[in-house]
Structure formats: C-alpha cells, structure tokens
Amino acid sequence: MQVVFQITSGERDAQLSMLGQLNNLLNYTNERKTRIAIEVVVHGHAWNLLLPGGHPFPEKVSALHGQSVRFLICRNTLNSHQLAADQLLPFVEVVPAAIAHLVERQQAGWAYIRC
Amino acid sequence: MQVVFQITSGERDAQLSMLGQLNNLLNYTNERKTRIAIEVVVHGHAWNLLLPGGHPFPEKVSALHGQSVRFLICRNTLNSHQLAADQLLPFVEVVPAAIAHLVERQQAGWAYIRC
Amino acid sequence: MQVVFQITSGERDAQLSMLGQLNNLLNYTNERKTRIAIEVVVHGHAWNLLLPGGHPFPEKVSALHGQSVRFLICRNTLNSHQLAADQLLPFVEVVPAAIAHLVERQQAGWAYIRC
C-alpha cells in the first residue's frame, strides 16, 4: 500500500485527527504485516505541525517518522511564511510544489487522503 | 464506475450536501444506464449521520441504501465514541479502519470523493 | 500529468488558496516543460468564483484559463442557484453532474485534488 496525505489546516483538531488516522492506519497494517509507504504533504496553514517546539505535536510527529512516515513540506509554503527548512523538525523533507507532488504520486498509483 | 466517499463532518450542511451529491450521481448513472458501486465511509464526527432517529437524515440515508449505496463506519470511531453498531441504522457495515479502507479501494481502482 | 481540482467553498481565502496552487503547479510544469491538463470542477457554494464582475477574482481565473486551465460548473449547481451559464465567465463549461465528472476523470487516470 502507498498513500499520500494532504494537510493544509493549522488547527489543532484537524492536526490531531490526522495524527490519529496515521496511527490507526499503521496499527492496521502492522497487525496484518502489510507493507505500507506513507507520506504527509504539509502546506498552507499546516506548517506549524512541523515545528520542533511548543505547539503542536512534535513528539507525535517524531514517533510517526520513527515508523517510517515521511513528512514533506512545500517550498512555496516555506517561502510565503519566510521559513527556513532548518527551523523545522530535522527529518522534514522539502518538495518544490505540494500539488505537483500529490499529482505525481497519484499518477504513480498512490492513494490520496485529503485531511 | 466505482467510487468511495469519505465524510468526517458532523454538521448538517455538510451531510445534506453529500446526500444531494449522491442523489445527483445516481440520477446521472440511472439516466445513462451506467453501473455504479458507491460506498460512503463515515468516521470522525460524522457518525451521527447513521443514527436511526431524530437528527439528522435517516430517511434519506435509508433511501440511498435502497439504491445500493453502502454505508460503512470505522471501528475506531465506534470505539472512541463508545458506540455499538446496533445503535446505528441496521444496514451499516463496520470496517476496521476508515483510512485503510479508503486506501485499499483507491488502489483497487475506485475513485475517491472527499466530502 | 492530468489533474482535476474540486472546489465547493464560496469563501475568499479558500478560493485564493486554490488559485495560488494552480499557479504554483503551472510554474512547476512550465519550468520542467512537462505537459499538464488541468480542470477545475466548481460546485456547491463556489459558483461565485466564476462570476465575471466584482467579487472575487475574475482576472485571476481568466489568466489561468489563458494558460489552458479549464473551468467546469455543475448543471445541478446552476439549477439550484437559478443561474444561467451566460451569467458566468464566457469560457466556463457545464458538466451534467460534478461528482460524476470527478469519478470519470479519476477512473480515466487523472489525479484528484480536493480544495
């Protein structure tokens, strides 16, 4: 299984909901010994999900990364918020354009989940 | 045609909007005598859509079920709201994890509509 | 690349966000000389995006159309708002049912972005 999540919300509830969904999905695949590749594409207001300190959930995000979930941020989002990648959690990867990445993944056969 | 809908909103407007979309889709396929399989995956706050009485729309949901729309709820959602499946409309089916089901359907070629 | 966007929001921020995403996507494909087909399916509250005057963004929408982005509106949305197609921007195309179009595109291999 291969799936790419898209999150744009900066709100706590939406982010917690996605983190819960990721854990539920990993529990499902772990129980069935199913291989899964998961990416989370973060853009728009959701960039605060990837901050290392304080709000919102760096431990939860790091724990998911420890289970091989990849977290990707859009370069356009970094630029429009005057953020540098090194202000974010150290494992965050940068993609040139969030939507382009989501399109490419889907056209390569990945499933898509809009948070 | 094969399509899986995802709804997480407990709000009346979002639910009514989805029910209208399902009817429009069925009208479209009925007029063209196109075969279609439709599933609605309910999780998060949307579980109240599947209650048998009162709010919100049990007659509309039942009518859609009568036209072969399947309504699925996530076991994680049941657990987190301390709900039993037999408190819901009798035709509701339970899936172990909403997101896993959505991923599996898409990877089997189904289209995906996020409500 | 082939991608269909879905927008249902009548809110300024959601519409601006989508228009920015479309521009970012076109920049990405132009830089890489990648061919792309883009459609935007407008329904629900989002119909005001396609009005020729005043709110919200007719110049931005027209500029995107000039870069080959197609804008489609749902006939059910026109009917429910008592709108005629000739009240909208002149290049807007009408599809019989928004969701049916989104399903058909995905089943023909197009990617899907939910705004």
E-assigned strands of B1-115? 2-7, 37-42, 70-74, 93-95, 111-114
Total Cβ atoms within 10 A of residue A32 = 12
Q: What are phi and psi of B41, to 5 degrees?
A: -95, 120
Residue carrying structure tokens 């728009």: A44
The per-residue pLDDT for B87 is 96
Residue % of chain B over a pLDDT of 90: 96
Cβ neighbours of B103 in A, within 8 Å: 1, 3, 25, 111, 113
The per-residue pLDDT for A53 is 83
The whole-angstrom distance between residue B3's C-alpha and the CA centroid of its chain comes to 11
Cβ neighbours of C24 in A, within 8 Å: 74, 76, 97-100
Cβ neighbours of A2 in B, within 8 Å: 107
> In this structure, what is the dihedral angle of CA atoms C111, B15, B77, B70, given to the nearest 10 degrees?
-70
Q: Does B114 touch chain C (CB under 8 A)?
A: yes
Give the pLDDT band of residue C56 (cuts 50, 70, 90): low
Q: Which of A5, A11, A99, A104 to mutate to test the interface with C (most CBs of C within 10 A)?
A: A99
Average pLDDT over residues B109-113: 98
Q: Note whether B113 contacts C103, CB cutoff 8 Å.
A: yes
Residue % of chain A over a pLDDT of 90: 96
Q: Note whether B112 contacts A109, CB cutoff 8 Å.
A: no
How far CA B51 is from CA of B62, B72, C54, in Å, comes to 11, 13, 43
Per-residue model confidence as pLDDT tens digits over A20-48: 999 999 999 999 999 999 999 999 999 99
